């Protein structure tokens, strides 16, 4: 990661909070957790903990991705939510703008992924050694040389949506790792975590929290 980390200074956008959980809308360009070194100390969990000192990490979003993130406010909630993510009981929906007009309406990408060691943190498809990665996709609109898609990952691999869209020949617009040429020339990565469905740690009630897509 380069030294030109200059995260947005938007005020914390709280989508929901109660005695066990807090959900916020992470802006694009802000790390979820601190990186190595003082210059990478500003991150979403630090900002959340400034307002909610008890907040605990449950999952992450890439620096360049925006949208819904959940934090636990008790160790019980952290364990409960952590298991839901581990057992793939949570459901996430993303919105992306991708290069090119996708002709089909829906589909699934099932391509195993592994870290591309010489080019970390990039990931790549590897049928022999990769870990299973599955993404359902649905086209919302396709015109003017691009498509707006909803992405529903079944697995949570690093850069999964970015590599799966690239593998389809439709890289996500503004992606600094995987898009090239005109597809990269956007002010941000056009990927947003729109909804998160989970069971509340206190009582197990199903909840669905949405963060409006900013693009």
Tokens for 106? 């829906």
Cβ-based neighbour number of residue 34 at 10 Å = 14
Residue of 46, 73, 14, 12 whose CA lies nearest to 200: 73
Active-site choice (62, 116, 175, 202)? 62
Q: Which residue has the tokens 């990408």?
A: 109
Q: Is 175 among the residues known to form the active site?
A: no
113 near 160, Cβ under 8 Å?
A: yes
- 182 exposure class (CB count in 10 Å sphere: 0-12, 13-18, 19+): exposed
Collapsed DSSP state (helix, strand, coil) of residue 113: strand
Start-to-end CA distance of the chain, whole Å, equals 25
Positions marked catalytic: 62
């Amino acid at each position: 990661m380069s030294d030109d980390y200059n995260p947005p200074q938007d005020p914390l956008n709280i989508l929901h909070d109660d005695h066990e959980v807090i959900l916020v809308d992470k802006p694009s360009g802000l790390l979820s957790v601190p990186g190595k070194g003082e210059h990478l100390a500003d991150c979403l969990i630090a900002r959340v903990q400034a307002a909610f000192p008890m907040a605990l990490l449950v999952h992450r979003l890439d620096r360049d991705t925006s949208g819904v993130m959940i934090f636990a406010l008790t160790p019980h909630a952290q364990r409960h939510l952590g298991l839901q993510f581990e057992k793939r009981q949570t459901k996430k929906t993303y919105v992306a703008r991708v290069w090119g007009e996708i002709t089909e309406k829906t589909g699934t990408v099932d391509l195993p992924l592994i870290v591309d060691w010489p080019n970390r943190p990039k990931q790549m498809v590897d049928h022999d050694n990769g870990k299973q990665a599955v993404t359902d996709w649905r086209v919302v609109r396709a015109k003017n040389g691009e498509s707006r898609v909803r992405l529903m990952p079944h697995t949570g691999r690093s850069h999964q949506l970015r590599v799966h869209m690239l593998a389809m020949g439709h890289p996500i617009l503004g992606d600094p790792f995987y898009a090239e040429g005109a597809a990269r020339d956007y002010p941000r990565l056009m990927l947003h975590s729109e909804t998160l469905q989970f069971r509340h740690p206190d009582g197990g009630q199903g909840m669905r929290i949405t963060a409006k897509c900013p693009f």
